[in-house]
Chains A and B, each alone.
Chain A
Amino acid sequence: MEQKTCSSTEYQQEDMARLLARASSLRRQKNARAPALRLPVEIVLNIFSVFPASPLSPHVLYSRPPPWLAVTHVCQRWREISLSSPSLWTHIITETRHWAGEMLIRSKNLPIVLQISPLGRRPSGYKSSSEVALSQASRACFIDIDGFNIWHRPSLCVPAPILESLYLRGALFSPTLPIADIFPEGTPKLRSLCLQGLNISWPLHLLNPDLVELTLDDICEDDRPSLLQLREALSAMPNLNTLSLKHTLPLQSQDSTPHTIMATWEGVTLPTLPSITTLEVAGQSGMEILGFTSSFTFPSLTSVVIGIGWGAAADLGRSSVQSVIISLSGLYRQFTSRLSGPSPYSFHSLRIARDEYDYWCMQAGGQTSQDVDRGCPPWIRTHFDPFFTVNVHRDSPRLAAEDLFKTVCELLPLQNIGTLMVECELFTAYIPWVEAFSRMKDIQNVIVRGSASGAIIEALNDLHAVGAWTQHSATLAEFVPFAPFDNYPTIAHDIFPRMSHLAIGGIDMEIIPEVQAIGETPISLCERLRLALARRLEEGNGMQPLERLGVRDCNITQAHVMQLGEVITHGAVDWDSVQNPHLFGLAGLIVDTSEESDA
């Protein structure tokens, strides 16, 4: 009885398996007619290859396993196509031994990409999967190892005939490792090299004449190249377009003075780097950077990022370099270092910006790009050649920013600044604007974006209240702030007597502000502006009428636009066609209420 039951169960299972296989076969036949599965293999591969790209996850490397792997479960045909396409498996997943080994097999003999990081990994698992992934390092065209460890090295002591990019970063809190023995036969195809926190022997055997991108960072003091070694290394790489040296230049002794540091560099002529477009120097004192940057020649369109050393930046500013960008953290360190005192340099313009400087670099360089077309008025370009930029990163520490800006205003040579541009909303409240404006004797243009205009307007108001703004008001020609207008409901007409251009944008001009001065008749922002401009037009008394008015993205009736046109000299409001509407748009001028009450 028991035997019979068992046979019956086995029979049923076999039957079920047959039915399932039959069902699978029928579904496959049905799929064969599905339009999606009748696409040619090339098209399917094209879909797979773009599958991981998305705004949030633009690269497969940051999402493991890659999201497109889900498609291999859709149906047999898609699985077959993916498994038989080595190109889909070349970005080796290094998180597990199993994945790493499987992808090495599936990628067959194609060049592979290896990106290895200990982040969030157990040390044992990290080591184990790294070893598998690096077992075919000679097939790699791209290697990026974060946390380079002693057990990584044997895997890299192999030929590297196709390696194009190599990024090695030493492990934190570990002794720095020498790399003299990796890739002993050289790296003939290498184009990008980044070494950080490693022991480097000079001459560095990984350098080759075709290198286009070189980053050296956190090189321990004993391993830093001498000036002569640096010159020889750079001379041998004429195609470099990106050079980043952080904590890499030879250090000067603590008791050296700017004079002795500069003397060290005298007579050291570094080569011309004709292709360089980006130069970054950081982790040094200002004079060390100054010595370096003044000792070699690079194209005038080079974008220069100085991590430390406004002194060096100033010197570049005097040369033909178009833009100098100084990161906030670098400045902070610089200003807390030994270099202090009055600067021998001068700037024509100061820009405090967010980290979106590419737009301005391109603009200053006269290059075209999609971004440039978003609109930078030509008149701004003329004021920013060269310009000095303090670049504020979003992750800048708040306290550092506070100290930095105070120090910036103490040390920066503001007396020759003609154009001030503040487009950073963060931290600018820390800037002692009253003091800063008091030192800007030649200020011509103030351009403000974002909430910074609040602090600036308050400062200008204070200066005006005590009569300290008089000396500047004769030369101030343009004021194009951007601010929540209803926070500044009144409009000054005498702080900027020679203001010729005004742009307004992104506000409700028809609104009647809730907060009014005592005894003031509630009127709309539009009417308030019209009255202020009318007074400029009628009163004279040193006041110049507004020449140009732009109104963009505002809630304002056409009738009111026409009324505004009657109180400006050119008579026509540039309505919804102001040159740079979404970058510079809003009027935040304030009124001298005492004068109104006198009247």
Chain B
Amino acid sequence: MPTIVSVDDSTVPGEGSSRLLLLVSSDNKHIVVEEDIMSRSRFISKQVEGFEATSQRHAILLPFSSFVLNKVIEYCSHYRGYYLLEDDPDAAPPGRSPVREWDQEFLDVDRNMLLRIIKAAHYLEIKSLVGSCARAIADMIRGKTTEEMREILGVENDFTPEEEHSPSSKCTG
């Protein structure tokens, strides 16, 4: 669960229609972002709903670095105002979904960064970003041998010989 702290008005500028949020990353960077941009995050939306019940203004502490958070904000900014099926399955589409080729370029990062982004997206409940990251990871290992997959993912073969050749594993590939 995120830690919610009270902040004074000067920390979070903005009022009314262009409300601003203060997001605090794990490396204690304060990032001010328009609420509208982050509305794609169900987690943030729920937090904001909670704020409205109180008169206080809040900052949202998030358990990932500012570098990752900025990437997520970049994604949300790019798709601001767009309808994405994963995020708004019940909403009537006001227009076309944008071409998702942009995602491929956006996610052209190293493995560890990609894993951090997908975890952050999962935490923030941004389904479209989780889906794009999952596709990117799947693309990384598609068509590879098991050994190559392990190398790409940075994992070891931790099966015992018996597990590797057990009858049940015959149906696992």
Q: With A67-B142, A71-B149, A74-B150 given, is the CB distance from A39 to B118 under 8 Å?
A: yes
B143 touches A67 (CB 8 A): yes
A20 touches B122 (CB 8 A): no
B171 CB within 8 Å of chain A: yes
B154 touches A36 (CB 8 A): yes
B159 CB within 8 Å of chain A: yes
Would you give the 0/1 interface string for B81-125, flagging 1 where the beta carbon is closer than 8 Å to chain A?
A: 000000000000000100100000000000110011011001000
B159 touches A76 (CB 8 A): yes
B153 CB within 8 Å of chain A: yes
- Chain A residues, Cβ within 8 Å of B150: 74-75
A370 touches B158 (CB 8 A): no
- Chain A residues, Cβ within 8 Å of B112: 35
- Chain B residues, Cβ within 8 Å of A39: 115, 118-119
B134 touches A46 (CB 8 A): yes
What is the bound-complex CA distance between A27 and B137, given in angstroms? 22
CB-contacts of A2-59 with B (<8 A) = 20-21, 24-25, 27-28, 30-31, 34-37, 39-40, 42-43, 46-47, 49-51, 53-54
A83 CB within 8 Å of chain B: yes
How far is the CB of B8 from the nearest CB of chain A, in Å?
35
Q: With A27-B157, A28-B158, A74-B153 given, is the CB distance from A53 to B138 under 8 Å?
A: yes
Residue of B whose beta carbon sits closest to that of A373 = B96
- Chain B residues, Cβ within 8 Å of A167: none
- Chain A residues, Cβ within 8 Å of B144: 70
What is the bound-complex CA distance between A567 and B24, given in angstroms? 64
What is the bound-complex CA distance between A375 and B14, given in angstroms? 42
What is the bound-complex CA distance between A61 and B128, given in angstroms? 24
How far is the CB of B91 from the nearest CB of chain A, in Å?
17
What is the bound-complex CA distance between A260 and B118, given in angstroms? 68
A434 CB within 8 Å of chain B: no
How far is the CB of B143 from the nearest CB of chain A, in Å?
7
A73 touches B172 (CB 8 A): yes
B135 touches A24 (CB 8 A): no
What is the bound-complex CA distance between A73 and B156, given in angstroms? 11
- Chain B residues, Cβ within 8 Å of A75: 150, 155-159
Most B-side CB within 10 Å, residue of A42, A47, A51, A74: A74
- Chain B residues, Cβ within 8 Å of A370: 96, 99
Majority DSSP secondary structure for residues of B touching A: helix
- Chain B residues, Cβ within 8 Å of A43: 118-119, 122, 130, 134
- How many A-B residue pairs have C-beta atoms within 8 angstroms? Tell me: 113
- Chain B residues, Cβ within 8 Å of A103: 171
Interface residues on A, range: 35 or more
Most A-side CB within 10 Å, residue of B130, B144, B150, B156: B156
B16 CB within 8 Å of chain A: no
B52 CB within 8 Å of chain A: no
What is the bound-complex CA distance between A75 and B146, given in angstroms? 9
Residue of B whose beta carbon sits closest to that of A32 = B158
What is the bound-complex CA distance between A26 and B168, given in angstroms? 23
CB-contacts of A272-287 with B (<8 A) = none
How far is the CB of B45 from the nearest CB of chain A, in Å?
19
How far is the CB of A425 from the nearest CB of chain B, in Å?
27
Residue of A whose beta carbon sits closest to that of B153 = A36
- Chain A residues, Cβ within 8 Å of B142: 51, 54, 67
- Chain A residues, Cβ within 8 Å of B159: 24, 73, 75-76
User: Per a CB cutoff under 8 Å, which of B115, B146, B154, B161 touches A70?
Assistant: B146
How far is the CB of A76 from the nearest CB of chain B, in Å?
5
Would you give the 0/1 interface string for A356-370, flagging 1 where the beta carbon is closer than 8 Å to chain B?
A: 000000000000111
B171 touches A99 (CB 8 A): yes
- Chain A residues, Cβ within 8 Å of B158: 24-25, 27-28, 30-31, 75-76
Chain B residues with a Cβ closer than 8 Å to the other chain, count: 41
- Chain B residues, Cβ within 8 Å of A20: 160-161
- Chain A residues, Cβ within 8 Å of B160: 20-21, 24
B156 touches A30 (CB 8 A): yes
B157 touches A34 (CB 8 A): no
- Chain A residues, Cβ within 8 Å of B96: 368-370
- Chain A residues, Cβ within 8 Å of B149: 70-71, 74
- Chain A residues, Cβ within 8 Å of B141: 51, 71
A34 touches B161 (CB 8 A): no
A69 CB within 8 Å of chain B: yes
How far is the CB of A466 from the nearest CB of chain B, in Å?
51
Most B-side CB within 10 Å, residue of A31, A39, A47, A51: A47
What is the bound-complex CA distance between A99 and B172, given in angstroms? 10
A72 CB within 8 Å of chain B: yes
A69 touches B173 (CB 8 A): yes
- Chain A residues, Cβ within 8 Å of B135: 50, 53
B18 CB within 8 Å of chain A: no
Q: With A43-B130, A73-B169, A98-B171 given, is the CB distance from A51 to B138 under 8 Å?
A: yes
A79 CB within 8 Å of chain B: yes
B153 touches A34 (CB 8 A): yes
How far is the CB of A41 from the nearest CB of chain B, in Å?
11
- Chain B residues, Cβ within 8 Å of A65: 173
Would you give the 0/1 interface string for A541-567, flagging 1 where the beta carbon is closer than 8 Å to chain B?
A: 000000000000000000000000000
- Chain A residues, Cβ within 8 Å of B145: 70
A435 CB within 8 Å of chain B: no
Most A-side CB within 10 Å, residue of B141, B154, B155: B155
The interface of chain A, by Cβ under 8 A from chain B, is: 20-21, 24-25, 27-28, 30-31, 34-37, 39-40, 42-43, 46-47, 49-51, 53-54, 65, 67, 69-76, 79, 82-83, 98-99, 102-103, 368-370
10 A-B pairs in the complex with CB atoms less than 8 angstroms apart: A24-B159, A24-B163, A27-B158, A28-B156, A30-B158, A50-B135, A51-B138, A54-B139, A67-B143, A74-B149
List of 7 A-B pairs having minimum Cβ-Cβ separation, nearest first: A72-B172, A69-B173, A27-B156, A27-B158, A36-B153, A28-B158, A46-B134
Knowing that A31-B156, A54-B142, A370-B99 touch, tell me 9 more A-B residue pairs with CB under 8 angstroms.
A21-B160, A27-B157, A35-B112, A36-B155, A40-B119, A47-B137, A50-B138, A54-B139, A76-B163
